[in-house]
Amino acid sequence: SQTIHQWPATLVQPVGSPLSLECTVEGTSNPNLYWYRQAAGRGLQLLFYSVGIGQISSEVPQNLSASRPQDRQFILSSKKLLLSDSGFYLCAWSVLRASLYFGAGTRLSVL
């Protein structure tokens, strides 16, 4: 069966520090991969999605970037965090036209 791993679960970072969140999927090949951010009272915002290695689409302009170095690995990064980057970050995967399956999320607090 398929599983998705996302880490760390929580992270506290100072403003201006770098960020790296990692997500890996097991049990499937060539999944579509997604990064969402959930801010309080604002629902889920799609940040990035990827349909293959090295293929990244950005949905909103922001201080973050994403990379997909391997088929089942998706990384969310920032060179310098802002206060507004705080939130709950969710990685998800899907196979063509199927449902999204989410990881457990990372709670990021930028102080």
Partner 1 sequence: AQSVTQLGSHVSVSEGALVLLRCNYSSSVPPYLFWYVQYPNQGLQLLLKYTSAATLVKGINGFEAEFKKSETSFHLTKPSAHMSDAAEYFCAVSESGANSKLTFGKGITLSVRP
Say whether residue 111 binds partner 1 (CB under 8 A). Answer: no
Contacting range for partner 1; rule: CB under 8 A; set: 13-21, 44-52, 62-70, 76-84? 44-52
Interface residue with partner 1, options 1, 29, 41, 83 (CB under 8 A): 41
**Residue 76 contacts residue 35 (beta carbons within 8 Å):** yes
Complex with partner 1: residue 29 or 97, whichever CB lies closer: 97
Phi/psi-derived region of residue 72, left when phi > 0, alpha when psi is between -120 and 50, beta in every other case = alpha
Complex with partner 1: residue 15 or 104, whichever CB lies closer: 104
Say whether residue 53 binds partner 1 (CB under 8 A). Answer: no
Phi, psi of 85 (to 5 degrees): -80, -10
CA distance 51 to 57: 9
